[in-house]
Amino acid sequence: MEPSIKLISACLLGIKCTWDATNRYRDERALQLLENDILIPVCPEQLGGLKTPRPPQEIQQGSGEDVLNGKCRVKNLNGEDVTREFVRGAGETLRIARLLKVRQFIGKSRSPSCGCRQIYDGTFSGKPVDGDGVTTALLKRNGIKVITEENLRQQIT
């Protein structure tokens, strides 16, 4: 069987691109996929121009879809608007997916960029709400299947 090419949140492979520059999101299930698949690591936040480390960010009063539609913003813990960087990073991630003809993305759950079906509520309190991150919303709009590391157990077994 020929390996499939997938995009994956770089942090899931242990790359220190997270807001706090740690590898605490490294996921063994994601690493197991390397046995049969080609995984292209991306960090939409870095692709959008945000530095590492950086203050935590959350979508304010909405979802990634709302951000793309101009209905809400992404702000960091210091109150700085980082919406432009999030939209730019989502666009660059989509560009990579199209260039490589990728049809699937494995994103970090609850991330304001890569979260799928759940993100944090924008209060920096750790409370999840229904919704997709900005990159996930853009990829879904363009027909790319998105799952999170929490769905990998089904993919591997």
- High-pLDDT (> 90) share of the chain, %: 94
Instruction: Quote the pLDDT of residue 156.
Output: 46
What are the distances in angstroms from CA 126 to CA 18, 31, 46, 94?
Answer: 16, 26, 22, 28
Are 13 and 114 in contact, with CB atoms under 8 Å apart?
Answer: no
Instruction: Quote the pLDDT of residue 45.
Output: 98
For the chain, domain boundaries: 5-156
Distance between CA 63 and CA 130 in Å, rounded? Answer: 8
Is residue 37 scored above 80 in pLDDT? Answer: yes
Instruction: Quote the pLDDT of residue 3.
Output: 84
Instruction: Quote the pLDDT of residue 153.
Output: 63
> Can you tell me the mean pLDDT for 117-135?
97
Instruction: Quote the pLDDT of residue 155.
Output: 56
pTM of the model: 0.95
What is the separation of C-alpha 15 from the centre of its chain, rounded to a whole number of angstroms? 14
Confidence of residue 65 (pLDDT cuts 50, 70, 90): very high
Instruction: Quote the pLDDT of residue 145.
Output: 97
Tell me the pLDDT of the chain averaged across its residues: 95
How long a stretch of residues is the chain? Answer: 157
- High-pLDDT (> 70) share of the chain, %: 97
H/E segment holding residue 95: helix 83-100
